[in-house]
Structure 1
Amino acid sequence: MKRCRFPVIILRPQSRGRENMGMWRRRISTLGHIPRDTIVLLLVIVRLTTAACADDMPTTPRTPTPQPPMHEDSVDTIEGASMDLGVISSVIQASLSFLQPRTLDSHEIRDFALWGLNGLSALDPSLSIEEQHGFLQLAATQKTVLALPVPTADDVPGWSAAITRILDVAWHNSPAMRSTGQDGVLQGFFDELFNHLDPYSRYVPPGAAVSDRSTRTGGEGTAGLTLGVDHHAIIITAVNANGPAWPTTLAAGQIVRAINGRPTESRSLETVTSWLNGPNGSLVRIMVESKGRRSTVTLHRASTPPETVFAYTSGKHVVLHITAFSANTAEEMSQYLDEAMNVPGISGLIIDLRGNRGGVLQQAVTTSALMLDHGVAAITQGRDPQANHVWAVQGGDMTNGLPIIILVDGRTASAAEILAAALADQKRGVVIGSATLGKGLVQTIGQMPNGAELFVTWSRVLAPLGWPLQGLGVMPQVCTSLGESELERQLQDLAEGSADSREWIAAARQIRYPVDLARILTIRKACPAAIGTDGDLDAAHSLLDNPVEYHAALATIPEEGATPAGGG
């Protein structure tokens, strides 16, 4: 298993010092246009080899050459509208080629093909597929309409051609399939195929795939403005700090009077919002009015990932709420952490991951690097060599060892769990809340020839101390889901230097794959998953204000290299 190190070069960014009711915003400079008087944080990610450091960002398989249909022994088709067989063939062959080396467990191409073909019955119960005497037989209303020789178990072109031919003949023999449409047929095929794998592997059709990619990367060019309506006028309600409008004079509360010379009066909010969007790099002129004065700002549209980090001060503590892990999350965190360190009298950080469903694995790892001097952030294990490696970080804790609390709840999942586990196992922070969701499987994304995407689970995530996140989740060192009185008792025990959570923390860190489900359920019952409450923040403030409590909770994590007590 290769180790992937993420050197982090820390150059202190300049603080904007711009605050509004405790909420912070910040300018993000692109590396290609850094003003001389602005210093930004650079996250330098070095890949030792391509195989060692692959992440779960989109992977595009090579589009195979469609194969001609195989010879059929018995055909009785009905003339009618046809599917685009070239598209069908290319999608099937690309998907089978993408799946075979990447799924967590090894399967033959034959398995994938037969699982998917069984989805025909879901689209039309009168259709059925059977394998008899070396032939694949398609029956419609109990009458055989096609028989094809069974390809060898791992013959990708052969199975692709057979599936394409079977779908074509089924289409002509089934009004239900034709009414479903070509996209529906592919969806049915893949839905049934993925029913035999894990809950997170899936097929995303072309339209939804475009939307998903836009969410991850920012999509088409935009001004980075959120608009709303106030007294029948279109106004700016927010300026995205990741977008091109942030460095300009555009600000929340301004009335939008025109876009590219087109007046906004009597136009709908949806129409005016659409005017802000366009090709990356294209110009957009925005006329605004504030306090009776009008001005025009011209900027270049750019892909703008959604903001995922929000911050505010609470007494001597800074709360950083991470809502997801998208393309810019680590960069957003670096900016906020830099500003946090300039807050006078700050004594602790609270990282709120409650409700965070995850996102890009690499962003979680890189975010952990901002608060760790060195060490392992996560381990991923899969059959594909590119999925099987160690994620290690080194280079700089931006907070200089400031005490950290990580808030989690039953909705905290995936990349958010990776960050929480990394900081906890490295004794860099204390986790407060309830058992998290337990989504410790990583998907790689394959883009299909028709614009669709395959999300395929290809690795399991292990925390730095070797325990699996899948099913178990992250167990907190301070549990808030057992009621107020129980929480008070835990805090009192921590103040006296002892921790009630030591037993369940030790049990969780001893789990190894393959896991014993009954044992996992027993551990999770000690602090059952729940939705976070204000009690989480109260407990966080208590620990940060009382070093004895904080260090007692921190000490519940066993030392690295401790021998697990028994197998998984």
Structure 2
Amino acid sequence: MKTSRLAVLALATGMTFGLASPSLAQSSTSSAETYRLLNLFGDVFEQVKAKYVEEVDDKQLIEAAINGMLTSLDPHSSYLNMDNFEEMQVDTRGEFGGLGIEVTMEDGFVKVISPIYDTPAEKAGLQPGDFITHIDGTAIRGLTLNDAVEMMRGKVNTDIVLTIIRKGEQAPFDVTLTRAVIKIQSVRAEVKEDIGYIRITKFNEQTFSGLQRAITNMRDQIGPEIKGLVIDLRNNPGGLLDQAISVSDAFLDKGEIVSTRPRDTQNTERYNARSGDLAEGLPMIVLINDGSASASEIVAGALQDHRRAIIMGTRSFGKGSVQTILPMPGNVALRLTTARYYTPSGKSIQEVGIVPDIIVPQARVESIEGDTRRSEASLNGALRNEDAHTNDTEKDANSRRDQAEQLAIDDYQLSRALDMIRGISLFGSRPQG
């Protein structure tokens, strides 16, 4: 009985040992207590195997025990079985199957960190902070995060119903999504007249190269009249540390980007910028919100501390911990929290997040019915402007006004960012004296 129990413990803990000798088990109070608890685990395992109402699988029991140990540490540590490990590797390469939703576990429910741009979750209207309470009518409470994520996976083009609790809504409601192959184009660029707009949806292996291409293409389109850049990190749940460092380095000439500090602070790692600024000193606005987490916060924190960009929006998520993937025998792995992130000024991102320089909540703007512009031209008997270009000037002004109003309705935060870039550019181009 004793031998089988220790064999079980070896499987559960990844340790290799035979029968513990009395001198080893009693070498210290700490090690004696550890062996007592490991023996307790073996006893529990044997009781479940022998007396549970249904036959149970050894592998499932041990994997559940390992996952329980890891998830008890923090929301981001977990066990990756063979399938999970493979999917994680595909995810970082930029293509995977599912709903396109970044989640964590909080208060027994799955909490949405961020829907990923142009995925079923984003199209269905899921929002950061939503809680998922049921999946296809099955309650989530009592499940692990991995269990819940596994339930949300399935064949492409099959439907799934999520029950959502949302702040501000009086009652839970159901959302139907259709599973799809999620292809993550992590960088999307668009020219906003004389300003470059770059949205980074995730930090995967293609992010930095995508950023380089986006800036080159926008410079070619706009030319020397380009006034600045808006980098949109809203609802970006993070990703690879090295990509966050590369994106930050793209706009910094020198100085620290981020430091990671493990339990042993002597092993602190610092990452510094190299010379060169892809934007060549152009004014920059970085947009963040409560869906901006981890790698997004590294970029925003570095550019904020070095005063390279103005951070605008709402406070970020506050995930300031580093997860290391530790491969294990059998093509499985541990995702283990091993360090904390610190911005160049020495501030921890954990829980507090990045506070914007200018706080701009997302607002719903509506045009006023019957709004008419008052001007000199509307007065009876007003003098007429005989300049041949008057009509062109008026048409241009009306067109720009209509575009600005529509953008404010569609995305108020972005409209504020574009206005600020233009203001900075105008102020910088004023003649001195």
TM category (shorter chain) comes to 0.5 to 0.7
Call closer, same or farther: CA 1:386–1:174 in 2, change over 3 Å.
Answer: farther
Q: Measure, in 2, the Cα distance between the counterparts of 1:198 and 1:549.
A: 48
* CA-to-aligned-CA distance 1:250-286 (integer Å, 9 cap, x gap): xxxxxxxxxxxxxxxxxxx979xxxxxxxxxxxxxxx
Q: Measure, in 2, the Cα distance between the counterparts of 1:362 and 1:461.
A: 13
CA contact 1:91–1:449 (8 Å) conserved in 2: no
SS in 2 for 1:457: strand
Q: Paired residue for 1:543?
A: 420
SS in 2 for 1:200: coil
* CA-to-aligned-CA distance 1:544-565 (integer Å, 9 cap, x gap): 11018999xxxxxxxxxxxxxx
Call closer, same or farther: CA 1:207–1:164 in 2, change over 3 Å.
Answer: farther
Q: Measure, in 1, the Cα distance between the counterparts of 2:54 and 2:268.
A: 41
SS in 1 for 2:308: coil
TM-superposed deviation, 1:156: 12
Q: Paired residue for 1:89?
A: 10
Q: Measure, in 1, the Cα distance between the counterparts of 2:266 and 2:11.
A: 24
CA contact 2:361–2:413 (8 Å) conserved in 1: no
CA contact 2:70–2:77 (8 Å) conserved in 1: yes
Q: Paired residue for 1:436?
A: 316
**What aligned pairs does 1:180-195 form with structure 2 within 5 A after superposition?**
181-195=57-71
**What aligned pairs does 1:91-240 form with structure 2 within 5 A after superposition?**
92-93=13-14, 153=30, 162=39, 165-166=42-43, 169-175=46-52, 178-179=55-56, 181-217=57-93
CA contact 2:76–2:337 (8 Å) conserved in 1: yes
Call closer, same or farther: CA 1:430–1:155 in 2, change over 3 Å.
Answer: farther
Q: Measure, in 1, the Cα distance between the counterparts of 2:30 and 2:54.
A: 27
SS in 1 for 2:79: strand
Q: Measure, in 2, the Cα distance between the counterparts of 1:429 and 1:441.
A: 24
CA contact 1:89–1:161 (8 Å) conserved in 2: no
CA contact 2:95–2:184 (8 Å) conserved in 1: no
Call closer, same or farther: CA 1:159–1:339 in 2, change over 3 Å.
Answer: farther
State whether structure 2 residue 205 is matched by structure 1 residue 327: yes
Cα-Cα RMSD: 3.9
In structure 2, give the amino acid aligned to 1:89.
Answer: A
In structure 2, give the amino acid aligned to 1:323.
Answer: T
Q: Paired residue for 2:130?
A: none
SS in 2 for 1:424: helix
CA contact 1:151–1:158 (8 Å) conserved in 2: no
Q: Paired residue for 1:315?
A: 193
Q: Paired residue for 1:469?
A: 349
Q: Measure, in 1, the Cα distance between the counterparts of 2:2 and 2:28.
A: 10
CA contact 2:196–2:226 (8 Å) conserved in 1: yes
* CA-to-aligned-CA distance 1:486-542 (integer Å, 9 cap, x gap): xxxxxxxxxxxxxxxxxxxxxxxxxxxxxxxxxxxxxxxxxxxxxx97111111111
CA contact 2:286–2:300 (8 Å) conserved in 1: yes
CA contact 2:77–2:323 (8 Å) conserved in 1: yes
In structure 2, give the amino acid aligned to 1:312.
Answer: E
Call closer, same or farther: CA 1:376–1:207 in 2, change over 3 Å.
Answer: same
SS in 1 for 2:416: helix
TM-superposed deviation, 1:399: 1.2
SS in 2 for 1:394: coil
Q: Measure, in 1, the Cα distance between the counterparts of 2:33 and 2:208.
A: 40
Decide which structure has greater helix share: 2
In structure 2, give the amino acid aligned to 1:197.
Answer: L
In structure 2, give the amino acid aligned to 1:173.
Answer: A
TM-superposed deviation, 1:402: 1.0
Q: Measure, in 2, the Cα distance between the counterparts of 1:549 and 1:197.
A: 51
CA contact 2:188–2:199 (8 Å) conserved in 1: yes
Q: Paired residue for 2:384?
A: none
Q: Measure, in 2, the Cα distance between the counterparts of 1:390 and 1:452.
A: 30
TM-superposed deviation, 1:400: 0.7
In structure 2, give the amino acid aligned to 1:214.
Answer: V
Higher relative contact order (CA 8 A, sep 6+): 1
CA contact 1:171–1:178 (8 Å) conserved in 2: no
In structure 2, give the amino acid aligned to 1:480.
Answer: V
Call closer, same or farther: CA 1:212–1:150 in 2, change over 3 Å.
Answer: farther
Q: Measure, in 2, the Cα distance between the counterparts of 1:189 and 1:157.
A: 16
Identity of aligned residues (%): 24
SS in 2 for 1:411: coil
Call closer, same or farther: CA 1:460–1:169 in 2, change over 3 Å.
Answer: same
Q: Measure, in 1, the Cα distance between the counterparts of 2:60 and 2:200.
A: 36
CA contact 2:237–2:296 (8 Å) conserved in 1: yes
Which deviates further from its counterpart, 463-472 or 326-335? 326-335
TM-superposed deviation, 1:90: 4.7
Q: Measure, in 1, the Cα distance between the counterparts of 2:36 and 2:210.
A: 47
CA contact 2:286–2:311 (8 Å) conserved in 1: yes
CA contact 1:443–1:458 (8 Å) conserved in 2: yes
CA contact 1:91–1:450 (8 Å) conserved in 2: no
In structure 2, give the amino acid aligned to 1:456.
Answer: L
Q: Measure, in 1, the Cα distance between the counterparts of 2:13 and 2:354.
A: 38
**What aligned pairs does 1:233-312 form with structure 2 within 5 A after superposition?**
306-312=184-190
TM-superposed deviation, 1:311: 0.8
State whether structure 2 residue 326 is matched by structure 1 residue 446: yes
* CA-to-aligned-CA distance 1:60-109 (integer Å, 9 cap, x gap): xxxxxxxxx9558xx9xxxxxxxxx68x8356216x9xxxxxxxxxxxxx
CA contact 1:409–1:433 (8 Å) conserved in 2: yes
Q: Measure, in 1, the Cα distance between the counterparts of 2:297 and 2:344.
A: 12
SS in 2 for 1:342: helix
State whether structure 2 residue 405 is matched by structure 1 residue 534: no
State whether structure 2 residue 265 is matched by structure 1 residue 373: no
CA contact 2:322–2:340 (8 Å) conserved in 1: yes
CA contact 1:440–1:461 (8 Å) conserved in 2: yes
SS in 2 for 1:474: coil
Q: Measure, in 2, the Cα distance between the counterparts of 1:482 and 1:170.
A: 55
Which of 263, 277, 293 is matched with 1:383 structurally? 263
Q: Measure, in 1, the Cα distance between the counterparts of 2:236 and 2:219.
A: 24
Call closer, same or farther: CA 1:176–1:394 in 2, change over 3 Å.
Answer: farther
Call closer, same or farther: CA 1:327–1:550 in 2, change over 3 Å.
Answer: farther
CA contact 1:384–1:458 (8 Å) conserved in 2: no
CA contact 1:213–1:219 (8 Å) conserved in 2: no
Q: Measure, in 2, the Cα distance between the counterparts of 1:151 and 1:185.
A: 30
SS in 2 for 1:215: helix
TM-superposed deviation, 1:309: 0.7
Call closer, same or farther: CA 1:387–1:188 in 2, change over 3 Å.
Answer: farther
Q: Measure, in 2, the Cα distance between the counterparts of 1:426 and 1:548.
A: 20
In structure 1, give the amino acid aligned to 2:218.
Answer: A
CA contact 2:12–2:65 (8 Å) conserved in 1: no
In structure 2, give the amino acid aligned to 1:396.
Answer: G
Q: Measure, in 2, the Cα distance between the counterparts of 1:219 and 1:353.
A: 20
